[in-house]
Structure 1
C-alpha cells in the first residue's frame, strides 16, 4: 500500500491528462480523466507542477518522432513536480519532495507514475517552471557539450538554433566554460543572443557557412546541429582539424512524409562514414536515451549527476531559465501551436489548471 504526503492529493480525486490520438493538428489533442494510479514497489506518484513542450512533441503529433509509441498516448518528455505517494521500498523522505524526471512520454498529466530511481531532486529555491526548462534541454546541452564535444576553454563552437530550448541552455553553458559561441537564429532573436555573449548569424541568410567561415576562418572546434538534412553536411565541413560534430535531430524533415526513421538513418550513415575517414575530426549522433544500452543503473546515475550540475549552474547564475510562456495543461493545443510558431525564445511550459503562474502572455 502506498503512503501519501500530508498535502497528498487533497482536492484531487481524478487524474487529468492530454492524449495524442493520432496524426492530428494541435486542436485534435484530447483531454482525458481517469483514476490516479497507486504506486507499486519502488514507484512514486508525482503531482505535476510543470511540464514542457519540446520539439519531440511537435514531431510526435505528425508521427515523425523516430521511436515514438503507437497512438494513442500521452505526450510529455519531462516534468517537475512533488512526490505525493510512494510504494514499498521507496525512501519515506521522498514523499513531499520536489523532483524532476525525464520520461519521453507521459508528462502531460496532472499526476505521473514513475520509478523512484528515475526522480532527480530539485534544489530548494528553484521554481518548478524554471527547473522544467532545464530537464531535457539541460541534460541534452550538458551531455553534448561536456561528454561528447569536450571543447577546451578558449575554443569556438557553432550552435544552430541558438534561441531554441536546447540552444539557449547550450550557449550559456558554453559561455560559462570559456568558449566563444557563434549561434544561428532569425534576426528577431539576435539582440537576445548578443546579451548572452553569442555572435549571431541569420539562419535565413543566403550562405550561412560562408558567414561562419568569415567569423572562424580556421574552422570551429564543434558544431551542434539539430537540423539534419543538408545542414549536417555543411556542419561537418565547417569543423577545424580535430573538431567534433554533434548532430541531435532532423528538424528540417519535420514536415516531410515517408519513413520517420530514414532521416536519422541517413545521419547515422554519414556519422559512420565520417568517423572512418583519417582526418582527426569526429562526429556523433546524440540521443539522450542511448546510455541505457550500457545499463539502467549507470544511465540513471549519469543523468542524475548531469542534471544536478545543470541545476547548480542555474543556482550560480551561469544559466538562466528562459520561459517563453506558461499555459494551463488543458490548453496544451495552444501551447503546442505557440512552440511550433518559431516566434518565442526559450521553452513553453504547461502548468496545472488553476495553478499559480499560468499566463497566456508569451512576453511574461
Structure 2
C-alpha cells in the first residue's frame, strides 16, 4: 500500500504543488496510523507557499495543519477504528499519517469528517483566544476582523453561544454570511473605526486581529478600559518582500510597548503552539478545548462552515480557491 501526499516544493503558485506517492508507514509503540478523511486549507498554508509563515520548515515539505480520520493501527489496540482529530502543523495533506497517540482527540459521531475538520485548528484558536486569553464575559462586545474566514466564523459563533455581542469585518460579498452568524457585519474597506465607535461608544471588550500592519493601532484604540487586543497573525504582510519574520517581530515589539504603558488595556499575541514547552499541559488544554468545541457543534450551537470539499489530488485548486477571498468558511481536502 502507498500513501498519497501533496508536496510544497518551494516558492510556487498553487499549481506548483506536486502529488507524490510513497510507501505506507507503520506506527511505533505510542503512535497511531490514521486514514485521513479530511484535512484543511488554512491561512498558514497560504503563507507557507510564499515562505512567509513564521517558523515553517525548509522546502520541500508536505503542508497540512490538521486532520480528521480513523485509526487503522495503533500501539494501543483500543484506538483501532476510532475517529480522531489532531493538529499537525505540517504533514496533514496526506491520505495516511502516523501521529502520536497523545495528540489524538475523539470526534463525536454526530459530525462528519469535513465538519469536524473545520473546528480543529480554527476551533482551538477561537476558543482559546476568547476564553483563555481575552476572557470576555457574557453581555460583552467584541470586534472580529476577518469574520467570514475559518477562525472568524468559529469565533463569531462561539461568542454568540456565550452571550457576547459581535461586530465582524468582512468583504462586501461576505457581509450577509457574517450577519447570518449573528454578528453586526462591517465592510472592511469602509471607515471601520468610526462605525465601531458608533456601535460601541465606550469601546469594545476585545478585538481579535489577524491582519496586523498599520491597522493594528486602530484595533488597540477601539478597546474599552480593561479590554484586550488579541493579535494572531500578520495577513496584511503576506505578499511583502523581505524577511518573513520582521513583520512579526515588529508586531511583538508594539504589543509589548502597549503593555508597558499605563493604559488599562492589554495586548497579546496568540500562537496556537504557545506553551508547548510543557508538552503535557499543552496536550491537556488542547484536548479539553477541542472537546468543548466539538460538544457545542454536536449540540447544534456551532455550525460548520465548509466552503468546499475538494479531493486531495486537487490541492492546487483548493489552495487557489482559499486564496481567492471569495468563500466563507474553510476549504477542506477529502482524500
> Normalising TM by the smaller chain, what interval?
over 0.9
RMSD: 0.7
Tell me how far apart the structure 2 counterparts of residues 314 and 120 of structure 1 sit (CA, whole Å).
Answer: 15
Unaligned runs of 5+ in 1: 1-12, 353-364
Map of 2:239 onto structure 1: 255
Determine helix, strand or coil for the equivalent of 1:58: helix
Pick the aligned partner of 1:174 from 159, 164, 168: 159
Unaligned runs of 5+ in 2: none
State the 1:269 CA deviation.
0.5
Determine helix, strand or coil for the equivalent of 1:292: coil
Pick the aligned partner of 1:129 from 114, 135, 141: 114
Pick the aligned partner of 1:240 from 213, 216, 224: 224
TM-score, normalisation: structure 2: 0.99
Matches within 5 A, 1:170-209: 170-205=155-190, 207-209=191-193
Pick the aligned partner of 2:196 from 184, 188, 212: 212
Map of 1:75 onto structure 2: 63
Q: Residue deviations 1:290-334, cap 9 Å, x none?
A: 1202x1111001000000000001011111001000000000000
Tell me how far apart the structure 1 counterparts of residues 90 and 10 of structure 2 sit (CA, whole Å).
Answer: 14
Matches within 5 A, 1:284-299: 284-293=268-277, 295-299=278-282
Tell me how far apart the structure 2 counterparts of residues 203 and 190 of structure 1 sit (CA, whole Å).
Answer: 10
**Aligned partners of 1:76 and 1:103 also within 8 Å:** yes
Map of 1:58 onto structure 2: 46
State the 1:288 CA deviation.
0.5
Q: Residue deviations 1:254-297, cap 9 Å, x none?
A: 1111111111111111111111111211110000001202x111
Tell me how far apart the structure 2 counterparts of residues 178 and 305 of structure 1 sit (CA, whole Å).
Answer: 21
Map of 1:342 onto structure 2: 325
Q: Residue deviations 1:145-193, cap 9 Å, x none?
A: 0000111111110000000000000000000111110000012112222
Q: Residue deviations 1:98-157, cap 9 Å, x none?
A: 000001000000000111100101012211000000000000000000000111111110
Determine helix, strand or coil for the equivalent of 1:290: coil
Q: Is the aligned partner of 1:308 residue 2:291? A: yes
Map of 2:256 onto structure 1: 272
Pick the aligned partner of 1:318 from 297, 301, 316: 301
Pick the aligned partner of 1:93 from 48, 67, 78: 78
Q: Residue deviations 1:221-262, cap 9 Å, x none?
A: 000000001121110011000000000000000111111111
Q: Where has structure 1 moved over 4 Å in runs of 4 or more?
A: none
TM-score, normalisation: structure 1: 0.91
Determine helix, strand or coil for the equivalent of 1:141: helix
Q: Is the aligned partner of 1:329 residue 2:317? A: no
How many residue pairs were aligned? 335
Map of 2:146 onto structure 1: 161
**Aligned partners of 1:225 and 1:231 also within 8 Å:** no
Tell me how far apart the structure 2 counterparts of residues 189 and 61 of structure 1 sit (CA, whole Å).
Answer: 25
